[in-house]
């Protein structure tokens, strides 16, 4: 079907609602191959393997059991699995995308690699970061955040973190657990510790 009509505008967003599980995060409960899991890892991937975990809370500090999180990131060399990124991809099957739902206590987790440095539009290095999209019942449009890593010196000069008031930056920085390759980041949709969300 061919169509070249210029539309009036974009299709508005609506909430995923509470019942997205079978459509988006089936985890073997539906008769098809899962398109996504909460892992970006592939057998040939190089880089530091890390686990990111945390919980999602609402404005009353109550765990949110019906959130869906998506991450998008570069590989360890800072390259994206996207034809728009013209640089060669060393990790041929690394896709850089993962998705998970929160459980009844609001827990989420991702297994991935620590991404490399990606330049900003001025060519300035950004500290290693992962893009995060947060969907959920009660959320009419998904929210965009970033996940940074507590053991990265580059955070101090990161051009995006610099846009964030200093007292709120910690809401985007996953904290490494001593002696482990596990980073923790809780998300607060609202309230005193509200996670920083970006207008992109």
Partner 1 sequence: MTFIYPTDSNKAHPLPLSPEYKSSIKRAPNKPLIPMRHTLSELTGPVYGHETVREGDNDLTTRHKGEPLGERIIVHGHVRDEDGRGVPNSLVEIWQANACGRYVHVRDQHPAPLDPNFTGAGRTQSDASGYYRFVTIKPGAYPWGNHHNAWRPAHIHLSVFGHSFVTRLVTQMYFPGDPLFAFDPIFNSVPDEKARMRMVSSFDLENTKPEWALCYRFDVVLRGKDATPMENH
Q: How far is the CB of 101 from partner 1 (least distance, A)?
A: 11
Q: Does 120 bind partner 1 (CB under 8 A)?
A: yes
Q: Does 42 bind partner 1 (CB under 8 A)?
A: no
Sign, CA dihedral 158-161-165-171, equals negative
The 3 state secondary structure assigned to 19-85 is CCHHHHCCCCCCCCCCCCCCECCCCCCCCCEEEEEEEEECCCCCECCCEEEEEECCCCCCCCCCCCC
Q: Which of 53/97 has CB closer to partner 1?
A: 97
Q: How far is the CB of 15 from partner 1 (least distance, A)?
A: 6
Cα 107 to Cα 101: distance, rounded to the nearest angstrom = 8
Considering only 26-34, 42-50, 106-114, 177-185, which stretch makes contact with partner 1 by CB under 8 A? 26-34
Q: Does 53 bind partner 1 (CB under 8 A)?
A: no
Q: Does 92 bind partner 1 (CB under 8 A)?
A: no
Considering only 47-55, 116-124, 148-156, 178-186, which stretch makes contact with partner 1 by CB under 8 A? 116-124
| Contact residue for partner 1 among 39, 41, 58, 116 (CB under 8 A) | 58
Residue 181 makes CB contacts below 8 A (sequence gap 6+) with: 48, 49, 50, 51
| Contact residue for partner 1 among 31, 88, 166, 178 (CB under 8 A) | 31
How far from each other are the two terminal CA atoms of the chain, in whole angstroms?
Answer: 32
């Amino acid at each position: 079907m061919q169509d070249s009509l210029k539309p009036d505008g974009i299709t508005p967003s609506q909430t995923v609602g509470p019942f997205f599980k079978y459509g988006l995060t089936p985890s073997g409960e539906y008769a098809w191959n899962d398109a996504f899991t909460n892992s970006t890892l592939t057998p040939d991937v190089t880089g530091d393997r890390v686990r990111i975990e945390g919980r999602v809370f609402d404005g009353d500090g109550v765990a949110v059991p019906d959130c869906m999180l998506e991450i998008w990131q570069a590989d360890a060399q800072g390259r994206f699995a996207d034809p728009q990124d013209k640089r060669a991809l060393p990790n041929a099957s690394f896709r850089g995308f993962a998705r998970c739902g929160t459980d009844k206590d609001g827990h989420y987790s991702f297994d991935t690699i620590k991404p490399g440095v990606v330049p900003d539009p001025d060519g300035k290095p950004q500290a290693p970061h992962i893009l995060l999209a947060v969907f959920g019942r009660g959320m009419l449009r998904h929210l965009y955040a970033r996940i940074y890593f507590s053991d990265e010196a580059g955070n101090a000069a990161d051009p995006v973190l610099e846009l964030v008031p200093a007292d709120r930056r910690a809401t985007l920085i996953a904290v490494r657990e001593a002696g482990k390759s596990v980073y923790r980041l809780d998300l607060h949709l609202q309230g005193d510790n509200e996670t920083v969300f970006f207008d992109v």
